[in-house]
Amino acid sequence: MSKKKKYTVGLGGNISDTEYATTPKVSANISKKNKDGKTSSIYSSIEKPLNKINKQNINSNLTLGYSKTGKNSSFNVEGSKSGKDKNVSFNFTKTFSKGSEIKINKVAKKLEKASKLHAGQAKTLKSIKLVRGGGAAIRGLKFQGVK
């Protein structure tokens, strides 16, 4: 059985008219969605302002980007150019499971069973919520540092 891919194509246009300039803008995007839920897309836009008063050249704006999203991650790159100015940006996100909280709760249950002395330590462990950048070293979780 072959995987079906779904493609979506979008085109758009816009004309902005002010007292000093008329600015036509054209944008396009193409995206592909796999059967497993991953999506890839490419998008671009072009904008060319026209000066009404003295017919001077006004800088065009060009934008081009690519994004890819999966079940637990996403990646995005975008570049733009306006005259001599250039801009590039990128973004990456990843979602992780709650594995560390599960391990802490297992240790806490074993400490409670060990003795009443360790029950206080177990209560402290249960109250800890690990979040990225949450200061695990300050909370005394035997943080070894970055190796």
Please tell me whether residues 15 and 44 are part of one structural domain.
yes
E-assigned strand segments in 1-147: 6-17, 21-33, 39-47, 50-51, 61-69, 73-82, 85-94
Report yes or no on whether pTM surpasses 0.85. Answer: no
Whether residue 1 is predicted with pLDDT greater than 50 in this model: the reply is no
| Range ranked top by mean pLDDT from 18-32, 94-108, 131-145 | 18-32
What is the dihedral angle through the alpha carbons of 113, 118, 121, 122, rounded to the nearest 10 degrees? 0
**Residue type at 4 in one-letter notation:** K
Please tell me whether residues 82 and 106 are part of one structural domain.
no
pLDDT digits (tens, 9 = 90+) for 80-123: 998 888 888 888 887 766 555 566 677 666 666 666 666 565 56
Mean pLDDT of 19-26: 90
Please tell me whether residues 30 and 82 are part of one structural domain.
yes
- Number of structural domains (the chain) is 2
Q: For residue 83, what are the domain limits?
A: 6-94
What is the overall mean pLDDT for the chain? 76
